[in-house]
A and B are shown apart, each in its own frame.
Chain A
């Protein structure tokens, strides 16, 4: 049992063979354990795979979470858009009062 409050680790899985090709999957786990209680929080996600071709060449293929990226972009767009609307109306109101 690890007694760490916070850890961010990249773990390699077992290699998968198919024909002459090999794949090693990698995942990243963020672990937070409550300092004074039992329990905690673990966020484990796939990050990449390492592919070894029959000629021995290696290639890292990243795994992107498209849904998460789209969500973050849209929420950022909403926040920035709302801020711009507020700024635009604020400057217009200030100009009118002057």
Chain B
């Protein structure tokens, strides 16, 4: 005979539960820290009297979860208790330079960082899209049986 009891919080090991919650909160806090301005602007680099401040766009995406459960059953008159927990997650951080701030004693200027590869790929996509449409339209109507 086997009886399954619903796990309750009372049977959960508090130390393990606290550890899991702390871990989730710490990860969430680290994730929210990427919204800070210090993530976007780098440390100023000195070059003589000129200072250069790099700036980048940062994209962070993540998801995670943790769970804990416990239960007990009575098998052949013997009660067995068990508990376990686990968690997992994943994410990605993408960073791309956007501009460089050049500060000299005379003036402050912003020089953009141009990614030629990305622009070329966008141009190829646009050209491919138009060529595809042109090819489709010049081919004429399909003759069905």
A contact residues vs B (CB 8 Å cutoff): 1-2, 9, 11-14, 16, 18-21, 23, 25-27, 29, 31, 34, 37-46, 49, 51, 59, 61-67, 70-71, 74-75, 77-79, 81-82, 85-86, 89
Contacts and interface: CB of A to CB of B under 8 A. Distances in A.
Which 10 pairs, one residue from A and one from B, show the smallest C-beta to C-beta distance? A78-B126, A39-B63, A13-B37, A89-B137, A29-B35, A46-B55, A82-B133, A66-B112, A74-B122, A78-B129
Given A23-B101, A31-B32, A44-B34, A38 B24 contact: yes
B25 A1 contact: yes
Nearest to A1: B28
A86 B133 contact: yes
Interface in B23-76: 24-25, 27-29, 31-32, 34-41, 44, 49, 51, 53, 55-66
Nearest to B126: A78
B130 A82 contact: yes
Contacts of B98: 45-46, 63, 65, 67
B125 A45 contact: no
A85 B27 CA distance: 50
Contacts of A2: 32
A20 B44 CA distance: 16
A18 B97 CA distance: 23
A78 B134 CA distance: 12
Given A25-B40, A42-B59, A44-B57, A74 B119 contact: yes
Contacts of B58: 42-45
Nearest to A88: B137
A67 B115 contact: yes
Contacts of A12: 37
Given A38-B27, A63-B55, 6 more contacts: A38-B24, A40-B31, A46-B98, A67-B98, A67-B118, A74-B119
Contacts of A34: 63
